[in-house]
Amino acid sequence: MNELHRWLIYPYVRLIFTLEGIEWGRDWRIYGVPIIQRHRRSQINIGDGLQLRSNIHSNPLGPNHPVIITTWQAGAVIEIGSQFGMTGGVLCSAQQIIIGNRVIVGANCTITDTDFHPLDLQMRRNQPQDAFTAPVVIEDDVFIGMNCLILKGVTIGRGSVIGAGSVVTRSIPSNVVAAGNPAKVVRLLNSGQG
């Protein structure tokens, strides 16, 4: 049933990406209709083998909402490598989010490079859009468990795993398992270990 639904909505989904100026890649599989919001003076580039799951029936964990991919400000960049997968999550860039190859993002995660609003009260009143931003980098072969929050200025090293429900506020090295709020390294992964 998922495949039938995917093919029925294919023309509409492809039109959404075209209207947002995002080049369609090879072997993309889009289940349900994602929300794409690209600032006209920003970039979204996505590699081959993309899988987005926005339909509640497309994943046993059930997305809370469609996948949302947003470049929020002029000059913002979202760069995604090949074979990226996400279920019901959010990618929101005011500056830069770079995602490597073969990255899997579990259900209902949010990845953002901005605080959205200033922490200082006077700035919030006078300049509500002037939030702090810092690039997010997720290297190749990272797996992010469901319901995680990845915040500004974070790099997640190659091959690492982020435990479900984690809040990542600081960079995580390569080949580790990190979990918690805030996320901390809980163990090392051997090279090639699954």
Beta strands (DSSP E) in the chain are: 29-31, 35-38, 43-46, 51-53, 68-71, 77-80, 85-87, 90-93, 96-99, 104-105, 110-112, 136-138, 143-144, 149-150, 155-156, 161-162, 167-168, 176-180, 183-188
φ/ψ of 77, rounded to 5, equals: -135, 135
| Cα 76 to the center of its chain, rounded Å | 14
Q: Is 117 a catalytic residue?
A: yes
Tokens of 23: 């080049």
Measure Cα distances from 114 to 41, 100, 109, 169 in Å.
Answer: 18, 20, 15, 12
Q: What is the DSSP letter of 25?
A: P
From the list 5, 39, 65, 117, the catalytic residue is 117
- DSSP H/E element including 126: helix 121-126
Active site amino acids: 117
